[in-house]
């Protein structure tokens, strides 16, 4: 039941991010900076160690690290082929259908976030809680991105709100999906390694650039470091 509750919280985080994006579009860079540090920290300090612990005796350290790289590259392909997260350009400002495609891709990503939460809880409550915390921070930025891409491509606020609701429901559906299957530890470790690659890509290619976009970098950089340090502390406390 806990993963379901957390997935609902993730959906609420998406809604809050999107609604704030409609009102405070130029004052969210500090939160995005924190989110970038948080998701990168979860990849390095939680998902990768857990993946190695679960799977290294079966698949070997080199193969697990390769799965991290594979996850990073697969998400790169999704980013390029399905238009995930990329910033809208002014020359497409009135290309409304493209805005819907991008919003749909963001919703797909939120669905994957929900699967990540569900799989993490299959490992342990501690791992699930840490991953959930990072997803909550990240889904806030997803809500911002969903609203921004729909509006920037010439769609109205009503369309943006509809896509925001879809994006908010997506992580709940992702968690529900994981309730219908359980994976052996070794295979679960492989998937966690791939999700670590996903998180590294999200932080490095999306959240960090977005948090610095047309803003001074000092405070956003400070928030990124703080986000990483905060998640590091949470992870260490959860393992005690």
Asked if residues 193 and 47 have their Cβ atoms less than 8 Å apart, the reply is: yes
Q: In this predicted structure, what is the pLDDT of residue 119? A: 87
Instruction: Tell me what the mean pLDDT of segment 7-26 comes to.
Output: 74
Q: Is the pTM of this model over 0.75?
A: no
Instruction: Tell me what the mean pLDDT of segment 95-104 comes to.
Output: 68
pLDDT reading at 85 higher than 60: no
Instruction: Tell me what the mean pLDDT of segment 26-30 comes to.
Output: 64
Most confidently modeled range among 5-19, 76-90, 100-114, 183-197: 183-197
Q: In this predicted structure, what is the pLDDT of residue 22? A: 64
Q: What is the pLDDT of residues 47-73, one digit of tens each?
A: 898 889 888 888 999 999 999 999 999
Q: In this predicted structure, what is the pLDDT of residue 46? A: 83
pLDDT band at 138 (very low <50, low <70, confident <90, very high): low
Q: In this predicted structure, what is the pLDDT of residue 62? A: 92
pLDDT reading at 45 higher than 60: yes
Q: In this predicted structure, what is the pLDDT of residue 168? A: 87
Considering the chain, what is the average pLDDT of its residues? 77
Percent of the chain topping pLDDT 70 = 75
């Amino acid at each position: 039941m806990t993963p379901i509750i957390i997935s609902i919280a993730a959906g609420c985080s998406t809604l809050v991010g999107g609604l704030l994006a409609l009102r405070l579009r130029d004052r969210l860079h500090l939160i995005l900076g924190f989110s970038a540090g948080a998701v990168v920290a979860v990849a390095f300090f939680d998902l990768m160690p857990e993946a190695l612990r679960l799977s290294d005796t079966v698949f070997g350290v080199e193969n697990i690290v390769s799965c991290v790289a594979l996850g990073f590259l697969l998400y790169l392909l999704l980013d390029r082929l399905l238009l995930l997260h990329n910033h809208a350009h002014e020359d497409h400002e009135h290309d409304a259908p493209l805005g819907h495609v991008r919003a749909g891709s963001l919703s797909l990503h939120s669905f994957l976030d929900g699967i990540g939460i569900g799989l993490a809880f299959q490992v342990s409550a501690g791992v699930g809680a840490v991953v959930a915390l990072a997803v909550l921070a990240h889904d806030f930025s997803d809500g911002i991105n969903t609203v921004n891409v729909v509006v920037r491509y010439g769609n109205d606020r009503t369309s943006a709100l509809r896509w925001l609701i879809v994006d908010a429901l997506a992580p709940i559906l992702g968690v529900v999906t994981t309730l219908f299957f359980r994976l052996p530890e070794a295979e679960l470790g492989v998937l966690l390694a791939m999700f670590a690659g996903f998180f590294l890509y999200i932080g490095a290619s999306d959240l960090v650039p977005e948090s610095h976009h047309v803003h001074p970098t000092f405070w956003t950089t400070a928030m990124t470091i703080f986000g990483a340090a905060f998640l590091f502390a949470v992870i260490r406390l959860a393992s005690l």
